[in-house]
Structure 1
Amino acid sequence: MILDSLGPRICVMGPSNSGKSTLAAAIGRARGLTPIHLDQLYHFPQTNWQPRPPEEFIARHDEAIVGASWVMEGNYSRCLPQRLARATGFILLDAATATSLLRYLRRSWFERDRPGDLEGSRNSVRWAMIRHIAIVTRENRRRYKELFDRISLPKIRLATTRELERFYRSERLGR
């Protein structure tokens, strides 16, 4: 199994709405790893995604990576060096922009209690997020691909929905 080669501290990155939270939760259940959702560390609960002060977020992040085992999903490049220094494996998701947009709309309109949700927050469609997915993500994809190529950790890149589904099946991960 591929997951065995990634060790006990797995870093999952990728564009917004590429499936990082769902995958991290599934890996956590299957491998007994604590899933850590960086959006939950970055934002205050019971708010409409209000960010914490940067130094508070970094302290929470750095405390989380000290653990012996985890699967951490999210990007937050300002604290990526210390995360990668502790990680034993890396997964890059690279869903197409159209897929990410559809997932965003579905999650905003229909899904409740999904992995990675912010406690007390309500998902809604926001133009800023649509713009982020449709425009900003292009540059992020390039940076993530370059990062993936440079990382010397055991790693896997799942570039399509089909590859992600095949990974779920081959690793016997439930949703």
Structure 2
Amino acid sequence: MHLSELGDRICILGPSNSGKSTLADAIARKRGLATVHLDQLFHLPNTDWEARPRDEFIALHDAAIAGERWVMDGNYSVCMPQRFLRATGLILLDISTPTSLLRYIRRTLFESERRGALEGGRDSIKWDMIRHIAVATPKNRNRYRAMLEQVDLPKVQLSSRQAIKKCFREWDLAR
């Protein structure tokens, strides 16, 4: 599928640390779309990943999807129905749990700046995050695959790091 077939409002879903933010930024630069990192809307800036009040997050989310041209990365199923109603295309990154864990450890320990980072936040190895990736992610993966099947939008599923790299090449995306 060509990138333009996904339209001007693209949702990127997938497990934590699968590369959603990196892909979103690359697509935004290529297509001239606004980038929306849902982690930045969900968490309060200048904290250690403290969640916003739910109503505040939903209001920020709904304001972001009201725009005409965006690429949005993140899951947050509480807002998926309205997001999918506005979306014109969907990308699912479906990488393995071990790959997600390795990416989490690598980026936390070795990357001082990363795409989608929380403003003023700090990354550190958190057991809650490791547990989330190891326990919740495999369950969510099946749910996201089922959602992908049900959504009547142009969609792409990328099931490995190699598939993601191939997509970057085919769509002529720059990291």
**TM-score, normalisation: structure 2:** 0.98
SS of alignment partner, residue 50 of structure 2: coil
Which residue is 2:116 aligned to?
A: 116
1:31 aligns with 2:31: yes
Instruction: Report deviation, 1:90.
Output: 0.3
Q: What's the CA shift string for 1:51-100, capped at 9, x where partnerless?
A: 11000000000000000100000000001000000000000001111110
Give matches, 1:1-175, under 5 Å. Answer: 2-175=2-175
In structure 1, distance between residues paired with 2:155 and 2:66: 21
Runs of 4+ in 1 over 2 A off after TM superposition: none
In structure 2, distance between residues paired with 1:34 and 1:113: 20
How large is the RMSD of aligned CA atoms in angstroms?
0.7
Instruction: Report deviation, 1:112.
Output: 2.0
Whichever residue aligns with residue 125 of structure 1, its letter is I
SS of alignment partner, residue 143 of structure 1: helix
SS of alignment partner, residue 41 of structure 1: helix
Structure 1, unpaired ranges of 5+: none
Whichever residue aligns with residue 134 of structure 2, its letter is A
Whichever residue aligns with residue 174 of structure 1, its letter is A
Instruction: Report deviation, 1:113.
Output: 2.0
SS of alignment partner, residue 174 of structure 2: coil
Whichever residue aligns with residue 171 of structure 2, its letter is E
Instruction: Report deviation, 1:166.
Output: 0.2
In structure 2, distance between residues paired with 1:31 and 1:114: 21
Q: What's the CA shift string for 1:104-155, capped at 9, x where partnerless?
A: 0011001122110001111110111111111111110010000001111000
Instruction: Report deviation, 1:160.
Output: 0.7
SS of alignment partner, residue 71 of structure 1: strand
Whichever residue aligns with residue 136 of structure 1, its letter is A
SS of alignment partner, residue 55 of structure 2: helix
Instruction: Report deviation, 1:2.
Output: 1.5
Instruction: Report deviation, 1:169.
Output: 0.4
SS of alignment partner, residue 125 of structure 2: coil
SS of alignment partner, residue 72 of structure 2: strand
